Amino acid sequence: MTWNTQDTMSLRQEFVLLAQQEGSNRRDLCRRFGISPQTAYKWLARYAAEGQVGLADRSRRPLNCPEQTCAELEQRVVALRQEQPAWGGRKIRRRLQDLGYRDVPAASTVTDILHRHGLITPEASARAQPWQRFEHAEPNHLWQMDFKGWFVLCNGRHCSPLTVLDDHSRFNLLLAACLDTDASRVKQHLRAAFGRYGLPLRINADNGSPWGSPSQPGQITKLEMWLIRLGIRLSHSRPAHPQTNGKAERFHRAFKAEVLAGRTFASCRQAQRAFDNWRDIYNQQRPHEALALDTPVTRYRPSPRPYPEHLPPIEYSPQDKVVKVKWNGDLHVQGRHFQVSRALDHAYIALRPHPSGDGRYDLYYAHHRFGTIDLTEV
């Protein structure tokens, strides 16, 4: 599981940052992170007194930045750029401020330093374009889910990174190195994310497998049935319109530039270690321009909807006509035969009169409308 590969310091820092969010339920966070309240409050107190270093097992002196000469600060700018080659002047300036440096120069000055040291190419400058953004009002209103395109490991196998991003905060909830892209693998990783962060109101994905049906867009899949039972609403990007999941696409660009570009990995496990390390940087350190140079963790808080131990039963309205789908997705209604998704074999669905009242019925699985049939067609 992805969570088990993160080191202790990373988990402690993520817990503390989430626990500090306004309205956070600290007792519930303790349960999700598998720690006692006493331990949690110890970490919070040490973090408040000493900052990040207070979370270490052995105490160290807090990082501070005494008055420095311009040359020393310039060296720190250069070092940060070398550590994070995709970061520009605004991100580096904000990171230096977050680390406690005083008299940090303006972003334009930082950019000039990078140019002076040959750390920004003309091509990189030309690619810098403003983005028009939209975001949901609260965390967990929408998660964006996708697979980053696969790459080849040294052992010849394909590794496909599975990513889940919160739309409001850009907080990365899941970054998993996967050898398989089937529904069972995705479900395994989503269980871990739901257990840690709770359930979102909605998840958006493209129309590809395993969450979509490329050959029959709109048809329910087994993975979607599980998500629907959890009370999550689903949506899909329009075919050939990846910008519908624009934040996930932008996340993939940063991930490719800062983790994958120019690197090879001997195994999936080695790739996962690199993913986990960068995920901490992305969520907790990397200033995000769409967030006014805040970090995603400062905008995110876990969902109040916990992951249930058991799937709730499906309940339909007394006004619904409830029918059972037969084998191979065969639906029989008033002597008529219709074909629905094979994933619905032996499942009970509801027929609700279409608002037009012309003999058409909308088909529902739990709260999810997945199709319409017309009983008047000859």
Tens digits of per-residue pLDDT, 151-191? 999 999 999 999 999 999 999 999 999 999 999 999 999 99
**CA proximity to 26, closest of 16, 174, 54:** 16
DSSP secondary structure of 135-187? --SSTTS-EEEEEPPPEE-TTS-EEEEEEEEETTT--EEEEEEES--SHHHHH
In this structure, of 138-147, 205-214, 335-344, 348-357, the range with the lowest mean pLDDT score is 205-214
Neighbours of 4 (CB within 10 A): 9
Burial of 328 (0-12, 13-18, 19+ CB in 10 A): exposed
Q: What is the pLDDT of residue 59?
A: 42
Res 243 pLDDT > 80: no
Q: Write out the two tokens for 340.
A: 């629905």
Sorting pLDDT into bands at 50, 70 and 90, what band is 214?
low
Q: What is the pLDDT of residues 328-369, one digit of tens each?
A: 899 999 888 999 999 999 999 999 988 777 788 999 999 998
Give me the mean pLDDT over the 49-62 stretch. Answer: 70
pLDDT, position 112: 82
Query: Which candidate, 312, 311, 313, 316, places its Cα nearest to that of 363?
Result: 316
The whole-number pLDDT of residue 125 equals 56
Closest CA to 67 of 116, 23, 103, 17: 103
Alpha-helix runs per DSSP H in the chain: 8-19, 26-33, 37-50, 70-83, 89-98, 107-116, 122-127, 183-197, 222-229, 246-255, 268-284, 296-299
Give the mean pLDDT of 45-57: 86
Alpha-carbon gap, residue 150 to 160, rounded angstroms: 4
The yes-or-no verdict on residue 378 having pLDDT over 80 is no
Question: What's the rounded mean pLDDT across residues 70-79?
Answer: 84
Instruction: State the pLDDT confidence band at 288, using cuts at 50, 70 and 90.
Output: confident
pLDDT value of position 290: 83
Cβ atoms of 126 and 134 closer than 8 Å: no
pLDDT at 296 over 80: yes
What pLDDT score was predicted for residue 216?
Answer: 65
Q: List Cα–Cα distances, 131 to 18, 128, 146, 243, in angstroms.
A: 28, 10, 21, 12
Distance CA 317, CA 305 (A): 23
Q: What is the pLDDT of residue 209?
A: 84
Q: What percent of the chain has pLDDT over 90?
A: 52
Per-chain mean pLDDT for the chain: 86
Q: 9 pairs with which residues across the strands?
A: none
Average pLDDT over residues 307-317: 91
What pLDDT does residue 268 have?
94
Q: Is the pLDDT of residue 217 over 70?
A: no
Domain range summary for the chain, segments of one domain joined by +: 2-55, 70-127, 143-299, 321-374
216 vs 256: which has the higher pLDDT: 256
Q: 96 and 80 in contact (C-beta within 8 Å)?
A: yes
- The CATH class, in words, for 143-299 is alpha beta
pLDDT tens-digit series, residues 268-287: 999 999 999 999 999 999 99
